[in-house]
Structure 1
Amino acid sequence: MSSPPSGPRRVRPAYPVLLLLALALLAGCASERPVPPPGAVWDAPSVTTTAGQPVPSATRPAVGSASPAPAREPARRVFPVRAAKVAYHPTHATYPGTDIFADCGEPVVAVTDGTILEVSRADRFDRRGPRGPHNGGLSVSLLGDDGVRYYGSHLSAISGGVDAGARVRAGQQLGTVGRTGNANNICHLHFGLSPKCTGHDDWWIRRGVVWPAKYLDSWRAGGNRSPVAEVTAWEREHGCPGAPGIN
């Protein structure tokens, strides 16, 4: 009998067998669940707890990347006086604000959705007394849902139900154009933009801290230009001063 050849024994590679097994497994997976087209999201597979009970679909983990939450729609803003004939100037004496001239009795409306902050239903202006706190006569300020305070003064009347804490909608009537306070007997609405300050009567801030004309131009034309960034920047720089710089 001949002896086996000397030297190391050769072993046939198992790669072909492994390859066939892998292809068989892939074929089985493919038959269970087709490959989704690009962008498609499958329903969540059935999930069971350790006790073997199915998990309600509402609590199943989401499949695929979560969609971002929809961006909040910007607040709608409208021009504060509803009248066919109005006029205003881009500047104002001594501090930022705008006088909107219209006939007495024309509707004054909420610029945007928000909550009434302050209401003055009495004309306490006295030329001999302290002029700053009561210059506005009958007035209303609204804290918009956008965080800006919108102020209107010299009104001839304030609408019923317009009280501190009341919710109002953009375009809702707040009162009527008048000439109370230091309006010098001229029918107009003094309009101011400012941040909300708390803890004291801040009439020197409430009357206006940024120039409103460019925003009024937008709202009058049906636009929605936002004063939020400018008012926020002013507050970041100045805070809420505890006393007026000028009367």
Structure 2
Amino acid sequence: MSSPSLRRRRTRTAYPLLLLFAPVLAAGCAGGPPPTAAPSAGWVQPTGVATTAGQPAASTPAPAATSARPSASPASTPRTGLRHVFPVRAGNVDYHPTHSAYPGTDIFADCGEPVVAVTDGTILEVSRVDRFDKRGPLGPYNGGLSVSLLGDDGVRYYGSHLSRIAPGVDGGVRVRAGQRLGDVGRTGNANNVCHVHFGISPACTGRGDWWIRRGVVWPARYLDSWRRDGNREPAAEVAGWHRKRGCPKAPAAGGGGG
């Protein structure tokens, strides 16, 4: 077994190479063209009985191995000035500012490093089983193991390709900024590279809308701030996107998620 210092030196030399391949990796995460569906207006958050992993309520069917609480909805008055933290807690971490086909960021770190809540909020959706199959369908299961969080700022934060979901992280559970949600992995269509796909979006349905959940605004400038212990907030940009486009009901065709 190699010492931790030797393993870290080897890992650090790998990240420049990973960034060279980031466009290829991002294309794998995308799995298809970006959505161009016409916006839908006036979406109303559904209410109903919460579901748990593997036990969807009869009136609100959900994909297997996914836990969600459909009644979780954005606060009527989202809070400002909340603390925001970088979503991966690791010393050896890097990310590419661009992404193929749609806004998002791939954050590279060693498998097993902690993935944490960006801000205070409520867990919306959890996928604990990797159901991705490259034969299809492309999109719904591309993220493998994943977690989405509705921040108290009204923004949904999504992390996928995880290797593990932390115990107790389920739909409807309250979490705090910096709380561990899971571990960096390479599930779904991660192309066998340890990383986290990170997306920022409005909550919309709060579950199942992978074409929105995967990301609608570019995260890099927020990640840059949080990594420097700054607190740049994405709520205004996300709200502007939502006002302009609403909540598209489906991707234009096929599409892919992360």
Report how far residue 215 of structure 1 moved: 0.1
- Report runs of 4+ in structure 1 exceeding 3 Å deviation: none
Which one of 77, 85, 89 corresponds to residue 82 of structure 1? Answer: 89
Match of residue 62 from structure 1: none
TM normalised by structure 2 equals 0.67
1:157-201 CA distance string (max 9 Å, x none) = 000000000000000000000000000000000000000011862
CA–CA distance in 2 between the matches of 1:212 and 1:146? Answer: 15
CA–CA distance in 1 between the matches of 2:211 and 2:88? Answer: 23
1:41-85 CA distance string (max 9 Å, x none) = xxxxxxxxxxxxxxxxxxxxxxxxxxxxxxx76110000000001
1:129-182 CA distance string (max 9 Å, x none) = 201000000000000000000000000000000000000000000000000000
Match of residue 29 from structure 2: none
1:42-191 alignment to 2 at 5 Å? Answer: 74-191=81-198
Q: Is residue 244 of structure 1 aligned with residue 251 of structure 2?
A: yes
Report how far residue 227 of structure 1 moved: 0.2
Q: Is the 8 A contact 2:90 2:109 kept in 1?
A: yes
Counterpart code for 2:97: P
Pick closer, same or farther for the CA change 1:195–1:73 going to 2, 3 Å. Answer: closer
Q: Is the 8 A contact 2:146 2:161 kept in 1?
A: yes
Q: Is the 8 A contact 2:125 2:206 kept in 1?
A: no
CA–CA distance in 2 between the matches of 1:94 and 1:213? Answer: 15
Structure 2 SS opposite 1:171: coil
Counterpart code for 1:119: V
* Rg (Cα) greater in structure: 1
Which one of 196, 213, 227 corresponds to residue 234 of structure 2? Answer: 227
CA–CA distance in 2 between the matches of 1:144 and 1:188? Answer: 22
Pick closer, same or farther for the CA change 1:216–1:127 going to 2, 3 Å. Answer: same
Runs of 5+ unmatched residues, structure 2 = 1-78
Match of residue 195 from structure 1: 202
CA–CA distance in 2 between the matches of 1:168 and 1:199? Answer: 16
Computed over aligned residues only, the root mean square deviation of the Cα atoms, in angstroms, reads 1.2
Pick closer, same or farther for the CA change 1:215–1:200 going to 2, 3 Å. Answer: closer
Report how far residue 244 of structure 1 moved: 1.0
Q: Percent identity between the aligned chains? A: 77
Which one of 223, 229, 241 corresponds to residue 216 of structure 1? Answer: 223
Between the two proteins, the alignment pairs up a number of residues equal to 176
CA–CA distance in 2 between the matches of 1:217 and 1:199? Answer: 26
CA–CA distance in 2 between the matches of 1:94 and 1:208? Answer: 11
Pick closer, same or farther for the CA change 1:73–1:98 going to 2, 3 Å. Answer: closer
Pick closer, same or farther for the CA change 1:209–1:185 going to 2, 3 Å. Answer: same
Pick closer, same or farther for the CA change 1:199–1:103 going to 2, 3 Å. Answer: closer
